[in-house]
Structure 1
Amino acid sequence: MNAKPPLPARPDILCIGSVLWDIIGRSHLAMRQGSDVPGRITRLPGGVAMNIAMTLARFGLRPAVLTAIGRDDEGDELVAACGRLGVETGFAYRSEDLPTDRYMAVEGANGLIAAVADAHSLEAAGDKILRPLADGSLGSGAAPWGGAIALDGNLTAALLAEIARSPLFAAADLRVAPASPGKAERLLPLLGHAGAVLYVNLEEAGLLAKVEFPDAVAAAEGLLARGAGRVLVTDGGRTCAEGSRGLGVISGVPPKVMVARVTGAGDTFMAAHIVAEKRGAGREDALQAAIRAAAVYVGGEVPA
C-alpha cells in the first residue's frame, strides 16, 4: 500500500479563495471603450487569495492557500509558480475535471478599463476546499484553526454563509475582502461575525450597507452602525479609514503616485495591514503601513 505524502509544514496564515492565472493587458496611454492601443500583456499568478498570499510571503510569512486548482497543464504550471513565490499549495483541492481558473483585465493610464473573472471552478468546488480545516490537517470541529485567515469573496454566497456560522471558523482571526463590487453583498452573513475584519472599498461599503457614502470615514461609521466589529475602507487615492467597534474611526491619506497598475492594490493593502498587526503595530501605524504598501504597489514597485 502506498503511503500518503507527508503534510506540508503548518503555515502562518491561510488564504482562502481564488488562485488563478491573471492575464493583464496594460498600456501607458489613457483608454476608453473601443480603444486599440500598444501595450504589454502578461500572465502571472493572481486571484484575491493569491495576491494576498504573495504579499504575505514577500513580508516573510509562510502562507498556504485553500483553493481549487485543476490538474491540467495550466494548474501544474500555477502550482509550480506558487512554490517559487513562497506560497504553499499542498492543502489545495486539485480537481481532475475542473479547469484552472483565469482572470483577464485591461488597464490604461486612467486605471482599470474592463475585467472578466472566470472563477467557475472555485465556485463548483464549493466546500471541498475547506476539507483541511475539518479533517485534522489544519483543524477540526473540536479543535478549530485559531490563527489568521484571509478570506476572499470569490466563494459562493452559500459557502460564505456556511463559513459565517461554521464552528471551523469560530476561533479564527478572519480577514475578509470582496473579490469585486459585484460580489460585495455575498459578505453580508459575515458582517456580524465576532472575529471578522472587513476590507472593502467605498463602493463595496455602500453595497453592503445599501447606502451611498460620501467618503471612507462615513462608510466605516456606517458599517459599524450596521453591526460590523471592524472595517477598513479604501477609496483609491483618497482618504482611507479604519473603524473598530467601541474605538471609533481613524483615517489616513495615501501619498500621490503615478499610477502604473491597479489590479491587486487592494489585496496588497490588506496583506500589509495584516503583517503590520502581526508584528505588533497599533491601529494608526498598521493603517499607515497598509497605505504606504498600496501606494508603492500602484506606483509599480514591489512593497517590502
Structure 2
Amino acid sequence: MNDTPDILCIGSVLWDVIGRCDNPMRQGGDMPGRITRLPGGVAMNIAMALRRFGLNPALLSAVGRDVQGDALIEACAARGLMTHLIYRSDDLPTDQYMAVEATNGLIAAIADAHSLEAAGDKILQPLWDSALPFPYTGAVALDGNLTLDLLSEIARSPLLAEADLRVAPASPGKALRLSPFLQAKRGTLYVNLEEAGLLCQCEFDNSTTAAAGLLARGAARAVVTDGGNPATVASPDTVVTQTPPPVSVTRVTGAGDTFMAAHIAAELRGLLPDAALDAALSAAALYVSGETKI
C-alpha cells in the first residue's frame, strides 16, 4: 500500500455490534445466537470492501479520542485502510451501530452517529488544508450519515466540484438527505427501491422505473437495487438491468455497502456498464451468503 489514496470514503466509521440468529425471528423475540463487534459504518464498510478489491482507500470521518476510538483506528489500520485524515475529537465519543439479524432479514437496528453529525465540516479539513490535492479530482464514496447541511455543502462545494462522487443514503430513514445531489445534478446515487421511492415521493414496482424516476428528478446517474430482484444502473444515455444470483442469505448488514464498493471498483478498473453491474451483484451475493470474509 502506498501513501496516495485511490478513493476517499467520507462518512461513518464506528463499531458494529451485531446479534445474529440462525432461525427466523419476530418483534419481541428472545432467541439464541451470536453477538459480534466489528469495525463498521457505511464509509468503513465501503472502504474495507474496496481494499479487498485491490484499491487504496482513505477515510474521512470523526472518531473519538477514547479507548473505543483508539481500538477502532487500530482495527482500521490492521485492515490496510488509511486513517491519518480522520478527525479525532477530544470531547465526542466514538459512534456505534447495533443490529439484530435473523434468517428472515434485519429485525431491528439503531445507528448512533451523533458524533459524526456533531463534528460537521471538521471532517473535511484535509480537503482545504493541503493534505489532499485541490481541487480533488478522484473518486469519493460518500454516505448519508452526514447532516443534511453538510451534504448540501458537499454537493455544491468547489472542494469536490471535479470529483467522481458516489453517494449512498445509509438507510431509508436518511434517504431524503440525498436531495441536494438531485438538485445539484451531481454524483451517482446508490439506493434501494424503498429509498428511491422516498426521494421521488412515490412508490415504484421495480428498479428500472425507480431509476428512471430518479433521473427525472434530477439525478445525474442512479443505481437502484431491490434485494433478490433485478437491479438497474441508469444514466441519461444508458440503462442496464440484471438479476442477482440466487443465494441463501446468512447476513444482511453491509450488503449494500459491498455492492456499492464492488461496482465502484469495477468501474475504476474500466469495466463497461453490463460487466460492472454483474461484478457488483456477484460480490454482494457472495457477501450475503457468508462466503466473503469481513
Smaller-chain TM-score range? over 0.9
**3-state SS, counterpart of residue 121 of structure 1:** helix
Amino acid across the alignment from 2:167: V
Q: How many Å separate the matches in 2 of 1:104 and 1:161?
A: 27
Q: How many Å separate the matches in 1 of 2:54 and 2:183?
A: 31
1:165 aligns with 2:168: no
Q: How many Å separate the matches in 1 of 2:111 and 2:12?
A: 10
1:76 aligns with 2:70: yes
Q: Which residue of 2 aligns with 1:91?
A: 85
Spell out, residue by residue over 1:140-184, the C-alpha distance to the aligned partner (whole angstroms, 9 max, x if none). Answer: xxx311000000000000000111111001010000000100000
Spell out, residue by residue over 1:80-131, the C-alpha distance to the aligned partner (whole angstroms, 9 max, x if none). Answer: 0000111111000000000000000000000000000000000000000000
The alpha carbon displacement at 1:213 in A equals: 0.6
Q: How does 1:210-221 map to 2 (within 5 A)?
A: 210-221=201-212
Match of 1:272 among 262, 269, 272: 262
Q: How many Å separate the matches in 2 of 1:178 and 1:275?
A: 19
Q: How does 1:189-200 map to 2 (within 5 A)?
A: 189-200=180-191
1:15 aligns with 2:9: yes
**3-state SS, counterpart of residue 101 of structure 2:** strand
With structure 1 as the length reference, what TM-score do the two structures score? 0.94
The alpha carbon displacement at 1:195 in A equals: 4.4
Match of 1:51 among 39, 45, 53: 45
User: Does the 8 Å contact 1:228/1:245 carry over to 2?
Assistant: no
User: Does the 8 Å contact 2:66/2:94 carry over to 1?
Assistant: yes
Q: Which residue of 1 aligns with 2:112?
A: 118
Which of structure 1's runs of 4+ aligned residues deviate more than 2 A? Answer: 192-195
User: Does the 8 Å contact 1:56/1:272 carry over to 2?
Assistant: yes
User: Does the 8 Å contact 1:171/1:195 carry over to 2?
Assistant: no
Amino acid across the alignment from 2:81: V
With structure 2 as the length reference, what TM-score do the two structures score? 0.98
Q: How many Å separate the matches in 2 of 1:268 and 1:42?
A: 19
Q: Which residue of 2 aligns with 1:106?
A: 100
Match of 1:133 among 127, 134, 146: 127
Amino acid across the alignment from 1:188: S
**3-state SS, counterpart of residue 63 of structure 2:** strand
User: Does the 8 Å contact 2:20/2:34 carry over to 1?
Assistant: yes
Match of 2:58 among 51, 64, 69: 64
Amino acid across the alignment from 2:246: K
Seen in structure 2, the aligned counterparts of structure 1 residues 129 and 202 have a Cα distance that, compared at 3 Å, is same
**3-state SS, counterpart of residue 191 of structure 1:** helix
The alpha carbon displacement at 1:246 in A equals: 2.4
**3-state SS, counterpart of residue 189 of structure 2:** strand
Amino acid across the alignment from 2:223: L
Amino acid across the alignment from 2:79: L
Q: How many Å separate the matches in 2 of 1:65 and 1:28?
A: 33
For the aligned residue pairs, the C-alpha RMSD in angstroms reads 1.2
Q: How many Å separate the matches in 1 of 2:104 and 2:283?
A: 20
Q: Which residue of 2 aligns with 1:5?
A: none
Seen in structure 2, the aligned counterparts of structure 1 residues 225 and 202 have a Cα distance that, compared at 3 Å, is same
User: Does the 8 Å contact 2:185/2:218 carry over to 1?
Assistant: no
Amino acid across the alignment from 1:169: L
Q: Which residue of 1 aligns with 2:141?
A: 150
Spell out, residue by residue over 1:245-270, the C-alpha distance to the aligned partner (whole angstroms, 9 max, x if none). Answer: 122x2101011111110000000000
**3-state SS, counterpart of residue 57 of structure 1:** helix
The alpha carbon displacement at 1:192 in A equals: 4.3
The alpha carbon displacement at 1:303 in A equals: 7.2
Q: How many Å separate the matches in 2 of 1:220 and 1:86?
A: 34
Q: Which residue of 2 aligns with 1:202?
A: 193
Identical amino acids, percent of aligned pairs:
66
1:25 aligns with 2:19: yes
Q: How many Å separate the matches in 2 of 1:226 and 1:124?
A: 30
- In structure 1, stretches of 5+ residues that fail to align are 1-7
Spell out, residue by residue over 1:162-213, the C-alpha distance to the aligned partner (whole angstroms, 9 max, x if none). Answer: 1111100101000000010000001100124454000000000000010101
Q: How does 1:213-292 map to 2 (within 5 A)?
A: 213-247=204-238, 249-292=239-282
